[in-house]
Each structure stands twice: as structure tokens, then as C-alpha cells.
Amino acid sequence: MRKKIPFIILCCMTIYLAGCLPAVNHVPSYEYYTLSFQNGDNPLLLKNNKPAYGFVKVDLPHISSKHMTKAIIYSENSLQKNAYSQSEWKEPLPIMLQEWMVQSIEQTGLFEGVIRTASRANVPLLLETDIVKFEHVLYENMIHMALRVILIRYDKRKIIKQKLFSYKIPVEKVSASGAVRAFNRALIQFNSDLYQWLNIKYI
């Protein structure tokens, strides 16, 4: 029995010291973010009225191929762009934005239906979006979001109208999470502006 006591003490000391030592090769876990759809308290939304137009197809938003990633972009100056480490979008930005726009346009009640371009359904109207800017500008501590929206008469290959929607929203916390919250605030405003723009009769 006496021979076992030193062994037990040694085991206890080993466990104690292991708990005191700093973790080796500890890698912080990734944080994943998404664009959340919120229509806010927009009194203009036509929830119960008869749709003004037929079906519209929402194209996958266009972006330069180098940004077709899950990276959350920030810029330290006008020439240098980087991506937040250990943080990224849950899906590539164009995919998330397409889904966001489908929900936004469905909520307006202006169209009989909204479909994605992956569908083979033949519809007369097509909505295209160019992602001109979608980044956290550190030297201004604001997010810059600029989206060019183009409404096309698809069967006639004719542009009906287009508009550049541009927003600058302050970032409360300089981080990926702070930037994402600012992007979602900008999208609430964009949701309202997009409705008013689409609601102008064009056909």
C-alpha cells in the first residue's frame, strides 16, 4: 500500500500541471455569417392586393470572379482589400443575395410569382443585379454597399429600367460581426427602396 502512494501523488501532480499549461496549437473556431431578411415596418408592402405584374425571374447577382468566395471583405485604403480571418459568409455572397432578393420581391406582392434563374420556366421579366461594392471600409469605419439592379423584358431582350442603389452605414464594432450587422441594416433600407422602384409602373 505504501508503494502505491507516491504513484498516486505523481498522477495527481501530472493532471494538475497539465491544467496549468497553456494550450498548444489552439486554433480559433470559424464564425459563419449570413444575410438576414427583414422587411421592417414598411407600410407600402402590398400583402393582400392583387399583383400588378406577372412572373419575374431573379438572376444570380453578378460579381467579379475573384470575389465569388465566402470571404468577408474589408479595405484598409482605396487600393488594398483583405478578408477577415476566421470569419466568412455561410455561402458565397451572390447566392445569399439572390435568395434575399427573392424573399424581398415576394413580400412586395407586386408579382404573381418570383422564381430563380435555375428554373427553366419561361417568364417575360428578368431582374439582374450587379454587386458593385460590398465591403467594410476601415478608414471610414463604414460599410459600402452598392447594387445595380436591372429590369429586363426577357422575351424581347430589352432593358426596361435600371438603377444604382448605394448605401454607407456606420459600423459599431470594427470586426466581421460588426460589418455584417451594418450590411443587414443597409439591406433593410434597400428592401424599402427596391419596392418603391419596382412599384413605378413600367409596362
- What are the boundaries of each domain within the chain? 4-198
pLDDT tens digit at each of 203 positions of the chain: 445 455 544 455 444 444 544 444 555 678 999 998 876 545 455 554 677 778 899 999 999 876 678 999 999 987 888 999 999 999 999 999 999 999 999 988 888 889 987 776 778 899 999 999 999 999 999 999 999 999 998 878 899 999 999 999 999 999 999 999 999 999 999 999 999 999 876 54
DSSP state of 15: H
DSSP state of 171: -
Torsion angle in degrees (nearest 10) through CA of 58, 61, 62, 67: -160
Considering the domain 4-198, what is its CATH architecture?
3-Layer(aba) Sandwich (3.40)
Query: Which pLDDT value is given to residue 146?
Result: 97
Q: What is the pTM of this model?
A: 0.80
Q: What angle do CA 156, 130, 141 make, to 5 degrees?
A: 160
3-state secondary structure of 79: coil
